[in-house]
Amino acid sequence: MRPSVRKSVFAGIAGLSLAGTVAGCAPSATESTPAAPAGSAAATSAATPSAGSSSLAGSGATYKDGTYSADGNYVSPNGTETVGVQLTLAGGTVTAVDITQHPSNPNTRKFQGEFAGGIASQIVGKNIDELNVSKVAGSSLTSGGFNQAVEQIKSEAQ
């Protein structure tokens, strides 16, 4: 059985927790902003990054360390929408993912904070990939845009 679109997104970034954090950046033209490789302890790759370049797991290609952002588009029932994706690459591993809904929405961020704080004692999320389900009922429409942005980052980071 062909996996659903949504599933393939998460398979594509296996090992990452795709927290729907809304970063506060304003919509920008698709630009890459390599930052100094932060000494993030989250990098689990055993390979020692040399000259700021190493391979992203599973891809075989090499990518430069840094923080990259790109916008992707997806079409909702109400037209074309944009999702911002920011990836931090360190030692050949993706160490952080931020999803931004454009334009940035302070109210959404507030809700996210509240939800993250209040959910533990009440509703708990489980990773969909770990559940035995055939379908997902929800209203996210971002998978296509996310994949598109990741592809762009991959090409820029080489």
Partner 1 sequence: MPGEDWEDFGFEGIGTQWEISTPFPLAQSVRARLLNRVEEFDAAWSRFRADSRVSIMAREPGRFGFPDEAGRLGPLYRTLYGLTDGAMTPLIGASLERLGYDAGYSLKPSGSPLPAPPWDEVLKWDGTIITTTLPVVLDIGAAGKGLLVDLLADELEAEGIDSFVIDGSGDLLARGPQSTQVALEHPYNPGQAIGIVPLAGRALCASASNRRAWGDGWHHVLDGTTGQPVRTAVATWALADTAMLADALATALFFVPGARLEQAFDFSWLTVFSDGSAAHSAEFEGTLFT
Binding partner 1 (rule: CB under 8 A), the pick from 33, 47, 61, 111 is: 111
Applying CB under 8 A, which of residues 6, 30, 55, 156 lies at the interface with partner 1? 6
**Spatial contact of 150 and 13, defined as CB atoms under 8 Å apart:** yes
Which residues are 84's β-sheet partners? 71, 100
Across-strand partners of 72?
83
Candidates 10-18, 34-42, 63-71, 150-158; binding stretch for partner 1 (CB under 8 A): 10-18
Q: Does 131 bind partner 1 (CB under 8 A)?
A: yes
Is 11 a binder of partner 1 (CB under 8 A)? no
CA 64, CA 53: separation in Å to the nearest integer? Answer: 4
Structure-block tokens of residue 122: 């009440």
CA distance 51 to 65: 9
Determine, following the binding rule CB under 8 A, whether residue 76 of this chain makes contact with partner 1. Answer: yes
Q: Determine, following the binding rule CB under 8 A, whether residue 61 of this chain makes contact with partner 1.
A: no
Least distance from C-beta 107 to partner 1, angstroms? 3
Q: Report the side by side order of strands in the sheet with 79-90.
A: 66-76, 79-90, 93-101
**Residues with Cβ < 8 Å from 45, sequence gap 6 or more?**
54, 57, 91, 92, 93
Q: Which of 34, 45, 55, 81 binds partner 1 (CB under 8 A)?
A: 81
- By CB under 8 A, the count of residues binding partner 1 is 56
Alpha-carbon span 19 to 40, nearest angstrom: 17
For residue 47, the minimal CB distance to partner 1 (Å) is 26
The contact set with partner 1 (CB under 8 A) reads 1-2, 4-6, 10, 17-20, 75-81, 101-103, 105-108, 111-112, 114-129, 131-144
